[in-house]
Structure 1
Amino acid sequence: MDRHTIAVLVNDYPGVLTRVANLFGQRGFNIDSITVGGSEEPGLSRMIITTGGDDHQIHQLMKQLNKLIDVISVTHLSKNPFVSRELALIKVNAAPSQLAELNAIVEPFRAAIVDVGPSSLIIQVTGDTEKIDALLILLQSYGIIELTRTGSIAMARSVVPAPATV
């Protein structure tokens, strides 16, 4: 099953998120991640949803989303090049004496240690899902106490115009 990223522009009203989530459940789709926030347009919010399914299933799901009254537009971001990022905070078992060792692990990921306690520390990392997953694998040996992730946010890349032919 392929992973798909869908952007849904919706009216910023109470209950819209519930209606969208219910549609996924009624159609038998699992939402891998969902992020919702304001958009460039006042009164509208953008949902970025990642889910699995084949192309036909996703096409049908998008048609159903477009039928919801508060949905303004639905874009299948995975169809074209797009940029996707996540944020994760990871609390790891570690003594202050291990700070330099852990710093050496997180630095290549452009991650940062944002809190140090007597027996643990918190690491902040942003990037695509695969990058965060790779860092988590490296940190498992220290013992991950707690993990929180934002889910993907995404945006279509700018289209580069084709060169003019003479």
Structure 2
Amino acid sequence: METARVKTPLGFATIIGDENGISSITVSDGGLIPTLIPKALQEAVTQLNEYFDGKRTDFTLELNPEGTEFQQKVWSALLEIPYGKTRTYLDQSKVLGDVKAIRAVASANGKNPLWIVVPCHRVIGSDGSLTGYAGGLWRKKWLLEHENPTKQQSLF
């Protein structure tokens, strides 16, 4: 596995992967020094930069996260949430076919190893609240606003 660290508007992203795909993208507040980007991770860095620059709304990376069969199913369902849209944890449970699995779905969302690329930040509470985000709620808020900025209405 190879590792790259890059600066983003939300902190330092650490990307781990190889020729079989990206297995992890995490974010931290700092203290990390950006690294040279290994060839296997260059496309991931490019696509993340395009996302933050507002030039990319979906990712076309080969993904290779480790997780249980249930976690993989939950993460695949997250990929179906369109850019700029949100879904509640209950809706996510319904998509997966079991409304009683809401807590298990929320737990699997929290273990998502692919920050931003697998958009768990697009899942919100039933009351519209920003709940449960491993990267910090301020990052979740930032990402949702980035994907769906409020347009100023014309005064005239």
TM-score calculated relative to the size of structure 1: 0.28
More strand by share: 1
Larger Rg: 1
